[in-house]
């Protein structure tokens, strides 16, 4: 029974005629009821993987089963078992939310009273009951994404694919979607395969994370395990007197290796011990007579994992900050 | 439903051919005095043209929307349902058939209001609707092929002038036997659009001309078959789903 909700891929490859190997030999297994976060920068191969697993694109090589069905040989059975909200909320601007649900339920063979009941239930669940009879062109990005999710759920799929479901959404809409996705997995046992370029999303939502870069999975595990395996905490200190920067560095280097990428005027070290003692660091700095204007401890992030595995920062982390700054200036539209 | 909610998609294919008809029938009425011209009403002669123009306009508009569905991923959403690909294509073409019938009825009513009476009678009106459906299916299938092949709204819009060149190089404004320029008469003779126009026209001004109808249905049927085969192949390539 459990196998029915799982996703498995072995050596999955997709090569495009005049392009690179978008997916280059992926192996993965997603357990029933699990939220699997597929994290990677733009162009890493996330969407191509989703297209193959949802039967929209045949793999060039390798095998994959979804809900126990082979994605190549049993495409129609896979499609019956899955729901998918792909990268763009593909909605018709001239139809209303309710009309979209009517179309989607009809395509899945749900008719009559069951169709009406299911549509109402989903509209309520995604908070679109009041907007149900409005045309999509008047919906905000968050509303479109929520309707997209509702459409993916009309036939009660056992497995849900979400391809960057929160890209471009404001913080409020993003959080609302996370809550609903979490509820689906925890309360209804739906297996969720979620691609994202947002570190926070993978960290908060996913039970397990696969990090993909250039078509291959470079790391996989729970967010906590990945972070603890790769790095320990980083301590960043800013001396009150910039001339004391050297003294601060010499003290901190006793506790770990100096690292870069932090604020100007600050000194940062990655602690050699995973559970580095902040109290000892403060005492050592005090003993040297150093006065600090700031002292911070940074926990490792999935970006640190990505950096350690690829030598680069995850592109999306920069985009995300920029986007959030822009969104803060505008009122939420949900 | 979508088409009905975009007034430009409905009104333009209804009004534009009527405006052209008004201009042509006013300006070219003198042509009816040519020896051998089949009727003394240019309006009745030219009423066939809107049926072909309207089918063209409606299918271009609808297929631009279809290309947009591909661009936005809406087609992928439909492809993820258990519905077979060919049914998706038939659904797209079926919607266009409905629009074509509405248009044809409108043109008939306008023609009737301005004094045109079908020589083939009420039965001819029904035959005209059937012919219009097949004509629209031909253009719609070719437009769907362009949309599926390219996934580009611009490419579908680019078909519009191509189709119109075929229309203008047909017997839309003059019976073929009265076209003076040899090259034009030859082009109009090999142009399948001439046979579409002439089949509609025969029902309006001649009655039951089985040869004209046969050629019209053959041309429209061939366009439909070729267009549908191309569209089905393009759909298969577009939806590479397993």
Q: Which of A227, A261, A287 is the last residue of a domain?
A: A227
Q: How far apart are CA A26 and CA A49, in angstroms?
A: 9
Q: Which residues in A197-210 are b (16+ Cβ under 10 Å) and which e?
A: bbbbbbbebbebbb
Q: Does residue A129 register a pLDDT over 50?
A: yes
CB interface of B with A, residues 57-76, below 8 Å: 69, 72-76
Domain annotation covers residue A319 = no
Q: How far is CA A97 from the centre of its chain?
A: 26
How far A127 CA lies from chain B's nearest CA (Å)?
22
How far B148 CA lies from chain A's nearest CA (Å)?
15
DSSP type of residue B16: H
Residues of A in contact with B72 (CB under 8 A): 88, 90-91
- Given an 8 Å threshold on Cβ–Cβ distance, is A72 in contact with B242? yes
Q: B10: closest CA among B91, B96, B99?
A: B99
Q: How far apart are CA A181 and CA A162, in angstroms?
A: 9
Give the angle subtended at the CA of A28 by the CAs of A83 and A168, to the nearest 5°.
50
Q: How far apart are CA B170 and CA B195, in angstroms?
A: 8
If DSSP codes are grouped into helix, strand and coil, which group holds residue B69? helix
Give the HSE-up count for residue B199: Cα atoms under 13 Å, Cβ half-sphere: 26
Q: How far apart are CA B89 and CA A251, in angstroms?
A: 72
CB interface of A with B, residues 136-165, below 8 Å: 151
Summarised one tens digit per residue, pLDDT across range A185-234 is 999 999 999 998 888 888 889 999 999 999 999 989 998 888 887 767 88
Q: Does residue A276 register a pLDDT over 80?
A: no
Q: What's the pLDDT score for residue A297?
A: 83
Among A55, A91, A135, beta carbon nearest to B242: A55
Among A58, A84, A135, beta carbon nearest to B240: A58
Q: What's the pLDDT score for residue B3?
A: 62
Q: Which residues are registered as beta bridge partners of A237? A: A267, A295
**A76 vs B: CB within 8 A:** yes
Burial (CB count within 10 angstroms: exposed 0-12, middle 13-18, buried 19+), residue B20: middle
Q: What's the pLDDT score for residue B190?
A: 96
User: Is there a single domain that holds both residue A81 and residue A215?
Assistant: yes
Q: What is the mean pLDDT of residues A233-242?
A: 87
CB atoms within 10 A of CB A239: 21
Q: Along the 242 residues of chain B, how does pLDDT read in single tens digits? A: 566 666 677 778 888 889 989 998 888 888 888 888 888 889 999 999 999 998 888 888 888 888 988 888 888 888 888 888 888 888 878 878 888 888 899 999 999 999 999 999 999 999 999 999 999 999 989 989 999 999 888 988 888 888 889 999 999 989 999 998 999 999 999 999 999 999 999 999 999 999 999 999 999 999 999 999 999 999 888 876 65
Asked casually if ipTM beats, i.e. exceeds, 0.90, the reply is no
Q: A242: closest CA among A225, A220, A267?
A: A267
Give the HSE-up count for residue A51: Cα atoms under 13 Å, Cβ half-sphere: 20
B6, B17, B60, B117, B236 from B102: Cα distances, Å: 15, 14, 16, 19, 31
Domain annotation covers residue A312 = no
**B240 vs A: CB within 8 A:** yes
Which chain B residue shows the shortest CA-CA distance from A92?
B74
Q: How far is CA A236 from the centre of its chain?
A: 28
Summarised one tens digit per residue, pLDDT across range A155-194 is 999 999 999 888 878 888 888 888 989 999 999 999 999 9
Q: Does residue A331 register a pLDDT over 80?
A: no
Length of chain B counted residue by residue? 242
**B83 vs A: CB within 8 A:** yes
Q: Does residue A78 register a pLDDT over 70?
A: yes
In the numeric block, the tokens 């990268």 are attached to: A87
Domain annotation covers residue A260 = yes
Domain annotation covers residue A323 = no
Q: What is the mean pLDDT of residues A235-264?
A: 85
Summarised one tens digit per residue, pLDDT across range A94-107 is 899 999 999 999 98
Q: A27: closest CA among A9, A39, A14, A44?
A: A9
Both structure tokens of A164 = 């960057």
Q: A267: closest CA among A280, A254, A277, A276?
A: A254
Domain that holds residue A33: 2-227
Where along chain B do its domains lie?
A: 42-238
User: Is there a single domain that holds both residue A116 and residue A101?
Assistant: yes
* Most A CBs within 10 Å, among B5, B65, B80, B238, to test the A interface: B80
Give the HSE-up count for residue A60: Cα atoms under 13 Å, Cβ half-sphere: 13
Q: What's the pLDDT score for residue A154?
A: 94
Query: What is the dihedral sign for C-alpha B3, B229, B83, A75?
Result: negative
Q: How far apart are CA B54 and CA B18, in angstroms?
A: 9
Domain annotation covers residue A331 = no
User: Is there a single domain that holds both residue A101 and residue A172?
Assistant: yes
Q: Which residues in A280-296 are b (16+ Cβ under 10 Å) and which e?
A: ebeeebeeeebebeeee
A217, B19, B41, B46 from B26: Cα distances, Å: 72, 11, 10, 11
- Given an 8 Å threshold on Cβ–Cβ distance, is A86 in contact with B76? yes
Q: B188: closest CA among B201, B176, B198?
A: B176
Contacts of A310 (CB under 8 A, 6+ apart): A213, A218
Percent of chain A with pLDDT over 90: 43
Output the domain CATH number for residue A187: 3.40.50.300
Q: What is the average pLDDT score of chain A?
A: 85
Q: What's the pLDDT score for residue A306?
A: 82
Q: How far apart are CA A277 and CA B139, in angstroms?
A: 76
If DSSP codes are grouped into helix, strand and coil, which group holds residue A240? coil
Residues of B in contact with A73 (CB under 8 A): 242
Summarised one tens digit per residue, pLDDT across range A18-43 is 777 899 999 999 999 999 999 988 88
Among A58, A92, A135, beta carbon nearest to B74: A92
Output the domain CATH number for residue A286: 3.30.70.100
For chains A and B, CB pairs below 8 A equal 66
User: Is there a single domain that holds both residue A55 and residue A195?
Assistant: yes
Q: What's the pLDDT score for residue A268?
A: 87
What's the structural domain count of chain A? 2
Q: What's the pLDDT score for residue A170?
A: 83
**A88 vs B: CB within 8 A:** yes
**B7 vs A: CB within 8 A:** no
Q: What's the pLDDT score for residue B231?
A: 92
**B239 vs A: CB within 8 A:** yes
Q: Which of A187, A210, A227 is the last residue of a domain?
A: A227
Q: What's the pLDDT score for residue A83?
A: 94
In the numeric block, the tokens 């968050």 are attached to: A142
Q: Which of A189, A207, A227 is the last residue of a domain?
A: A227
Q: What's the pLDDT score for residue A319?
A: 47
**B80 vs A: CB within 8 A:** yes
* Most A CBs within 10 Å, among B62, B79, B241, to test the A interface: B241
Q: Does residue A273 register a pLDDT over 60?
A: yes
**A95 vs B: CB within 8 A:** yes
User: Is there a single domain that holds both residue A149 and residue A256?
Assistant: no
């Amino acid at each position: 029974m459990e196998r029915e909700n799982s996703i498995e891929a072995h050596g999955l490859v997709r090569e495009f005629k005049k392009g690179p190997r978008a997916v280059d030999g992926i192996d993965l297994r997603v357990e029933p009821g699990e939220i699997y976060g597929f994290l990677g920068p733009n162009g890493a191969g996330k969407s191509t993987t989703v297209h193959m697993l949802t039967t929209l694109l045949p793999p060039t090589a390798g095998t994959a089963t979804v809900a126990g069905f082979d994605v190549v040989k049993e495409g129609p059975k896979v499609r019956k078992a899955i729901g998918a909200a792909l990268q763009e909320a593909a909605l018709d601007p001239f139809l209303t939310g309710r009309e979209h649900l009517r179309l989607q339920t009809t395509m899945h063979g749900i008719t009559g009273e069951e169709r009406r009941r299911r549509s109402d239930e989903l509209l309520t669940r995604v908070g679109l009951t009041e907007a149900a009879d409005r045309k999509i062109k008047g919906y905000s990005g968050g509303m479109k994404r929520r309707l997209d999710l509702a459409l993916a759920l009309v036939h009660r799929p056992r497995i849900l694919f979400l391809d960057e479901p929160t890209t471009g959404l404001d913080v409020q809409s993003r959080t609302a979607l996370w809550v609903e996705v979490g509820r689906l997995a925890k309360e209804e046992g739906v297996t969720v395969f979620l691609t994202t370029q947002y570190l926070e999303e993978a960290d908060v939502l996913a039970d397990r994370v696969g990090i993909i870069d250039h078509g291959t999975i470079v790391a996989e595990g729970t967010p906590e395990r990945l972070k603890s395996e790769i790095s320990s905490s980083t301590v960043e200190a800013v001396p009150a007197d910039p001339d004391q920067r050297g003294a601060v560095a010499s003290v901190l280097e006793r506790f770990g290796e100096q690292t870069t990428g932090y604020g100007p005027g600050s000194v940062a070290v990655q602690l050699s011990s995973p559970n580095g003692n902040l109290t000892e660091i403060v005492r050592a700095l005090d003993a040297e007579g150093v006065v600090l204007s700031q002292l911070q401890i940074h926990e490792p992030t999935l970006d640190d994992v990505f950096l350690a595995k690829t030598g680069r920062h995850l592109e999306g982390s920069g985009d995300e900050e920029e986007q959030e700054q822009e969104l803060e200036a505008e009122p939420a539209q949900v | 439903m979508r088409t009905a909610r975009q007034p430009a998609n409905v009104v333009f294919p209804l009004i534009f051919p009527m405006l052209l008809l008004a201009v042509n029938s006013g300006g070219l009425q003198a042509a009816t005095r040519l020896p051998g011209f089949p009727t003394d009403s240019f309006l009745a002669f030219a009423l066939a043209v809107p049926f072909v123009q309207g089918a063209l306009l409606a299918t271009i508009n609808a297929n631009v929307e279809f290309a947009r569905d591909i661009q936005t991923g809406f087609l992928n959403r439909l492809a993820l349902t258990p519905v077979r690909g060919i049914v998706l294509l038939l659904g797209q073409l079926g919607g266009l058939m409905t629009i074509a019938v509405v248009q044809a009825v409108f043109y008939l009513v306008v023609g009737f209001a301005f004094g045109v009476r079908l020589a083939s009678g009420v039965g001819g009106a029904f035959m005209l609707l059937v012919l219009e459906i097949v004509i629209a299916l031909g253009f719609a299938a070719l437009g769907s092929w362009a949309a599926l092949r390219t996934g580009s709204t611009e490419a579908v819009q680019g078909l519009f002038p191509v189709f119109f060149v075929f229309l203008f190089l047909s017997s839309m404004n003059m019976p073929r036997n009265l076209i003076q320029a040899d090259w034009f008469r030859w082009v109009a003779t090999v142009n399948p659009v001439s046979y579409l126009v002439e089949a509609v026209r025969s029902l309006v001004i001649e009655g039951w001309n089985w040869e004209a109808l046969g050629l019209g249905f053959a041309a429209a049927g061939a366009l439909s078959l070729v267009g549908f085969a191309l569209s089905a192949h393009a759909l298969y390539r577009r939806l590479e789903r397993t």
